[in-house]
Structure 1
Amino acid sequence: MADAKSQLNLHLARVALRNLLGHPRRTLLTSGAIALGLASLIFLWGFNEGLHRNMLGNFQNSIIGALQIHRQGFFQHPDLSLTISNPQKISETLELHGVTRYSQRLDTFGLAASDHTTQGVMLIGMDPQNEPKVTELGSRIGVGRFLQPDDSYSLILGATTASNLKVRLGDEVVMIGYDRYGAMIAESFTLVGIITSGEMGLDSGMAITSLATLQEMVDLQGQVTTFVINVDEQTLPGLVASLNEDLVDQQLEVMPWYTMFPVMKEWVTLHNGFLYLFLGIVLFIVLAGELNTLLLSMLDRTREFGILMAIGTSRRQIALLMVVEAVGIGIIGILLGTLLGYLIILLTGMIGIDLSILLGSTSRFYVDPLIYPQLKLDHLGITASTILMASILSGVYPAWRASLLQPVEAIRNG
């Protein structure tokens, strides 16, 4: 009995394959529509992934890093009284976890003054030796240079700030602020670099000098307010959890980029949401197109189904036949769509997509003009499996209709 059922099921599979191959135009049109929809989704996922990696990479590499460590409450209310009490402990903990790309900073507020005007700025003291390991701030300097280890009272400004102050390379800029005791201080700096990247947050409202210089200016020798760390995105959540556990008694805040700037993560989530909406639209098209094809196939083969029932084929097997055909169409479409989508990602990933043609300058959004799409296997798996499920669902109604046929009436009216 089992052998007979197996032979019958094998026969039904052959019948389904014969029907698909016997109507190549119908099969290819339906599978082609699925393939185009899948290829479009694969390209959109790849472009979206490339855009996000580009934007978030530039955002982190510009100045903030992937992760920062401060005294509790410092990020929301920067104050020189909130310096890190034991920076050596943090350095040892980071190196214990294999983290070597980190740098120390001292952050405070100041007033930049020139011969023409003044402007409030965030004054940041950076380590000239370790900062290049963490960020690519030096590549954002279009005029002049980045800080050097032997610099003393040298200054870097953003292009907008320099323009507002009406200063040029080599000019003197007086920085006015408060030292650790709250006493007003003023020091003269020489402008050695101007940031011209156009990125929001870099070109305006920020002044950069060496860590040693700022420590001397505010009388905080050897003390820092911030550790900036650069690690791979995949290891970031685990590192945050480990550091929170190891530094729990230090009164510190361990903040990844998405905690410091949640709007960036929300933007990525929103962008992904639009892609899921587009996936829903493609699934609707797949369901409608394949359902229409299978219903036409069922009507054309009414007599065939009647004969199959008459010779002993069960209604369940007739329904299974229609579902197998639906799966076959879906698999053909998925294979063609995956191949086409992969080729598109491969091609555009090599030459890039130039956004400046449509959008002009994108640097203010931390996005390079050329975007290189990248395909993630989990996105491909989700999309392909969802379309396969849609193909199976599209075969359910025609299968149910076919199973209700009466053999005699089907043969007579087919």
Structure 2
Amino acid sequence: MIQMLRLAWRNMWRNWRRTVIALVAIILGVILLLFFDGLIKGSDQAIFGNAIRIYGGNLQIHAPGFRAKANRLPLLPLDNPDVVVSTVQSRPEVLAVAQRISTAGIISNRGNTLRVGITAIDPRIEAPLSIQAEYMVQGRFLLPEDRDAIVIGQGMAEALQVHVGDTVNLVGRRKNEAMRQHSMQIVGIYDLGMPEIEKASVYIALSDAQTLYNLRDQTTEAVIFLKQAGEEAALMQSLQAALPAYEVDTWQTLRPEITETMQTKLAVTTFFGIVILLIAAIGILNLMLMAAFERTREMGVLAALGMKGHQIMLLFLLEGALIGVVGAVVGCGLGALLVTWVGHVGISFAGVSGMGEVGALMGNTLYPVITLADVLSRAVLVVVITALAALYPAWQAARREPAVALHHV
């Protein structure tokens, strides 16, 4: 076997120009493929990390019926919210659990009007965890004792042409489905660099919302923050069994449009990856076919000297696999270096607009991410594909009759 490998390696470099051309195609394909992988993984991590903090924790618990009407933010109070909180807090993977009130409404100022989601939070619990509190650019975040106070995003402040200290009109749905209008003073403005998301939500104190929306000592949801992302599915199943009278969800199930967009993005990227690999495979196929045609007499000599058909086939397969190994090693090395470098520098999208909610969740800068497992899996895939591309030429070489091959010109 070692002798066959040596012979295959020597044959691979006999026409070095043709081999280099094939290697360049494979290397560029692998680099592009790894870069795509890094972009997708980096964007998914950014979307997931931002969504957890923006949309309310890793998991959310609601009253029955909320899931079917989630896009309307129905005002459905939780029964026995203290029981829900105590059950969740007993789980070791939970960092914090907070009660909220969420409802739909309208905010306006001097003829400028926006439809918004109104989120009432308990600042004592959520202020240390809130991405909005972290990125305050004007004023301050909410305090537990605040009354008639509101925090908005920079995108909304610009749309409404308001500043800290200004008063806006906030209309929200009460428990009895009646609409309640109230004047609120802006105490803080945050800037996430996501204008589309900033224009969609406002934040007020929980105790204030309980009074405004006829929900004395009641809340409509419990949001759960985990110590480590990735444990959502197991905890959701466990909590659903422990709290069968409630609906346990993640932002992914409550916002299926974002999940569908991410799945579409993954499908498109997978398609491009397959195309890249097919291009590389076609290059290898062409290389091996040419090699088989040019070396017909040589194969006749090998067969006449006693080399079996399966040995000739193995020789060609090894040549294809070796080309794949060299291309995979060089391509994966350069691709990993490129993704690592870009991952430190980042790709700025600050000047790009109109990317929608998913684009806003990615933020202004995207940092590609890649793991050793990703690199190794792509390397193995490239070697397998190149070996398969060499299979047909190897079969063609193995089936030639020695006498015919020796007389080939």
1:156-210 Cα offsets, whole Å, 9 max, x none, are 2345655676654223445555655677766543321234546366433543211
Q: TM-score, normalised by structure 2?
A: 0.87
> Structure 1 residue 319: deviation in Å?
0.9
1:55-81 Cα offsets, whole Å, 9 max, x none, are 33223322433321111123515444x
Q: TM-score, normalised by structure 1?
A: 0.86
- Figure out how many residues of one structure are paired with residues of the other and give that number: 402
Q: Does 1:236 align with 2:232?
A: yes
Distance in 1 (CA, whole Å) between partners of 2:277 and 2:116 is 52
Match of 1:37 in 2: 29
Indicate the larger mover: 100-109 or 183-192. 183-192
Distance in 1 (CA, whole Å) between partners of 2:126 and 2:341 is 36
Q: Does 1:14 align with 2:6?
A: yes
Identity of counterpart residues, as a percentage? 30
Match of residue 410, structure 1, among 383, 386, 405: 405
Return closer, same or farther for 1:144/1:319 CA change in 2, 3 Å cut-off.
same
Determine if contact 1:102/1:133 at 8 Å carries over to the other structure. no
Indicate the larger mover: 274-283 or 344-353. 274-283
Indicate the larger mover: 328-337 or 16-25. 16-25
Match of 2:147 in 1: 152
Alignment of 1:6-405 (within 5 A): 9-75=1-67, 76=69, 78-80=73-75, 82-98=76-92, 99-110=94-105, 112=107, 121-158=116-153, 167-173=162-168, 175=170, 180=175, 187-197=182-192, 199=194, 202-204=197-199, 206-231=201-226, 232-248=228-244, 251-356=245-350, 359=352, 365-405=360-400
Indicate the larger mover: 344-353 or 28-37. 28-37
> Structure 1 residue 280: deviation in Å?
2.1
User: Letter of the aligned partner of 1:236 in structure 2?
Assistant: E
Determine if contact 1:134/1:229 at 8 Å carries over to the other structure. no
User: Letter of the aligned partner of 1:131 in structure 2?
Assistant: E
Indicate the larger mover: 265-274 or 193-202. 193-202
User: Letter of the aligned partner of 2:316 in structure 1?
Assistant: M
Indicate the larger mover: 290-299 or 16-25. 16-25
Return closer, same or farther for 1:334/1:95 CA change in 2, 3 Å cut-off.
same
> Structure 1 residue 354: deviation in Å?
2.0
Determine if contact 2:118/2:172 at 8 Å carries over to the other structure. no
Determine if contact 1:108/1:122 at 8 Å carries over to the other structure. yes
Distance in 1 (CA, whole Å) between partners of 2:112 and 2:294 is 84
> Structure 1 residue 46: deviation in Å?
0.4
Distance in 2 (CA, whole Å) between partners of 1:116 and 1:409 is 90
User: Letter of the aligned partner of 1:373 in structure 2?
Assistant: P
Distance in 2 (CA, whole Å) between partners of 1:62 and 1:144 is 20
- Gap runs ≥5 in structure 1: 1-8
> Structure 1 residue 125: deviation in Å?
1.5
Distance in 1 (CA, whole Å) between partners of 2:24 and 2:174 is 70
User: Letter of the aligned partner of 2:130 in structure 1?
Assistant: T
Indicate the larger mover: 335-344 or 360-369. 360-369
> 3-state SS of the aligned residue for 2:222?
strand
Question: Alignment RMSD, CA only?
Answer: 2.9
Determine if contact 2:148/2:208 at 8 Å carries over to the other structure. yes
User: Letter of the aligned partner of 2:328 in structure 1?
Assistant: I
Determine if contact 1:60/1:135 at 8 Å carries over to the other structure. no
> Structure 1 residue 336: deviation in Å?
0.8
